[in-house]
């Protein structure tokens, strides 16, 4: 199956309007003529998942449901406008009836949450999944309106996961059997499965989600288990770029990037692909490409296992994560005391907070790491509780959080063999009078991460991007 199967995934902006979904249908139609077997994965319409979760959490917080009517109307209008433009009457009526039933499910679940005053992770997954469940019906019908033999499938029938709601982990062995049993007969019959991204289900059939942005991950999972020959991610930019074009207008598309470079960029804020996407693709040894729905003739970015020749291009791209704070644990009594780091990160883990950046002084008198700004108060409380004894007797002087910062990450596989790269980066920042608060280099030999004040983010990214241009990234 792998040599003739393509998985394509459309993000929210690629299906979020009449124009966007129309272009997606054109791409599906063209690729269906070029590939013997095609599987389509779709996100919810842009903004829909945010709307669903916002209103559910609002119901839990206020205990009221009066605001839900406006949300229901918006859900109906967004999908109805696309249906009226792209579907004939005989397809539009049954599709909108099914979408209206899903909107009704949203209303019922949200009203129950309002009564209980609590939105559990399981309930939030049930609500968050509704966006994809609506869009898959709309996209499949839009394809059928153009004569394509599509079949809408909810991924809860294909991807089996654990019960870690809101960030479920797939069982690849079970998913392989289920996905092949459902998808292979359709593909062999000449049908085009159109599958919901983002969602799965426990073995008991309870809907789960794979984490925000998880539709990319869904495509990678299905690509790995079928297996497919290629996975193409369609988004609203021309592939992976040297920087965020909103910060650096002169940023340009990279024709090729290695898996490791892409992993670093995805983890550290580049929103082209979900960070989890890369691993299943690497392990399955299948191709990955990032494409633009709105510029389908552009070749996009090809992702390769390793770039053997770097051609002197030590620096490839720069990205930034904003809205972080640095947490520091410091004290002379920490010197030589085993287990401090383990206890610290255990306390952070107890709050469910991710730590993207860690550094420690060689004297062992301080540990510094970043966390999302929204979690800093909860994390500080957890750390103070974990180190109550040490704080009381002065072994630890204080546990504190900085003002908001940004993590700037520079990526390039050629950095390892190029002397003086780090010096050039810090000189470029120094020339802009940008102070570097912390540095992490060594955990990956394809990236350097550094921390700057949040207000310096744009200037830092632009200064480093000038170095990338000088090194000829393309």
Whole-number Å distance between alpha carbons of 148 and 27: 12
What CA dihedral angle connects 316, 321, 325 and 328, to 10 degrees?
-30
Query: What does the pLDDT profile of the chain (474 residues) look like in tens digits?
Result: 556 999 999 999 999 999 999 999 999 999 999 999 999 999 999 999 999 999 999 999 999 988 999 999 999 999 999 999 999 999 999 999 999 999 999 999 999 999 999 999 999 999 999 999 999 999 999 999 999 999 999 999 999 999 999 999 999 999 999 999 999 999 999 999 999 999 999 999 999 999 877 899 999 999 999 999 999 999 988 999 899 888 899 999 999 988 888 888 877 766 678 778 888 988 888 999 999 999 999 999 998 887 655 555 678 899 999 999 999 998 877 776 677 888 899 999 999 898 989 887 655 578 899 999 999 999 999 999 999 988 898 888 899 999 999 999 999 887 766 778 888 898 999 999 999 998 887 555 788 899 999 999 999 999 999 988 765 544
What is the CA angle 76-77-78, rounded to 5? 95
Fold of 2-236: Carbamate kinase (3.40.1160)
> At a CB cut-off of 8 Å and minimum separation 6, what does 75 contact?
48, 51, 52, 103, 106, 134
What is the domain partition of the chain in residue ranges? 2-236, 317-470
Instruction: State residue 177's pLDDT score.
Output: 97
Instruction: State residue 270's pLDDT score.
Output: 67
Same fold: 2-236 with 317-470 = no
The reported pTM is: 0.86
Of the options 3.50.50.60, 3.30.2130.10, 3.30.470.10, 3.40.50.300, the CATH number for the domain spanning 317-470: 3.30.2130.10
């Amino acid at each position: 199956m792998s040599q003739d199967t393509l998985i394509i995934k459309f993000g929210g902006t690629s299906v979020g309007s009449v124009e966007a979904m129309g272009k997606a249908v054109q791409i599906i139609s063209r690729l269906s003529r070029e590939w013997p077997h095609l599987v389509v994965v779709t996100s919810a319409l842009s903004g829909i998942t945010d709307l669903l979760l916002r209103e559910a959490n609002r119901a839990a917080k206020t205990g009221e449901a009066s605001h839900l009517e406006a949300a229901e109307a918006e859900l109906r209008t967004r999908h109805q406008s696309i249906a009226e433009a792209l579907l004939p009457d005989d397809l539009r009526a049954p599709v909108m009836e099914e979408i209206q039933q899903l909107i009704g499910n949203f209303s019922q679940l949200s009203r129950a949450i309002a009564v209980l005053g609590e939105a559990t992770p399981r309930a939030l997954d049930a609500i968050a999944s509704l966006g994809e469940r609506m869009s898959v019906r709309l996209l499949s019908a839009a394809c059928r309106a153009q004569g394509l033999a599509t079949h809408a499938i909810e991924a809860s029938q294909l991807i089996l996961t654990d019960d870690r709601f809101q960030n479920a982990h797939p069982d690849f062995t079970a998913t392989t059997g289920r996905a092949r049993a459902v998808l292979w007969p359709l593909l062999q019959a000449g049908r085009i499965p159109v599958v919901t991204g983002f969602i799965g289900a426990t073995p008991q059939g309870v809907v789960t989600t794979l984490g925000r942005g998880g539709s990319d991950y869904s495509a990678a999972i299905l690509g790995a288990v079928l297996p497919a020959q290629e996975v193409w991610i369609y988004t609203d930019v021309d592939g992976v770029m040297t920087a965020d074009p909103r910060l650096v207008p002169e940023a340009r598309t990279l024709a090729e990037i290695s898996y490791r470079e892409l992993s670093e960029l995805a983890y550290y804020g580049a929103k082209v692909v979900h960070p989890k996407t890369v691993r299943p693709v690497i392990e399955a040894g299948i191709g990955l490409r990032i494409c633009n729905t709105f510029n389908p003739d552009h070749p996009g970015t090809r992702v390769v296992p390793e770039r053997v020749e770097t051609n002197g291009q030590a620096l490839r791209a720069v990205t930034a994560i904003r809205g972080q704070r640095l947490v520091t644990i410091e004290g002379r009594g920490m010197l030589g005391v085993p287990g401090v780091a383990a206890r610290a990160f255990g306390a952070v883990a107890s709050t469910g907070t991710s730590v993207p950046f860690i550094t420690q002084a060689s004297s062992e008198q301080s540990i510094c790491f970043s966390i999302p700004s929204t979690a800093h108060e909860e994390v500080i409380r957890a750390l103070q509780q974990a180190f109550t004894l040490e704080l009381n007797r002065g072994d630890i002087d204080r546990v504190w959080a900085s003002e908001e910062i940004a993590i700037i990450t520079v990526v390039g596989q050629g950095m390892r063999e190029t002397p003086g790269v780090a010096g050039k980066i810090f000189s470029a920042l120094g020339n802009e009078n940008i102070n570097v608060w912390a540095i992490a280099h060594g955990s990956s030999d394809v990236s350097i991460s550094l921390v700057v004040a949040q207000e310096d983010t744009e200037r830092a990214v632009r200064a480093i991007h000038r170095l990338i241009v000088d090194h000829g990234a393309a």
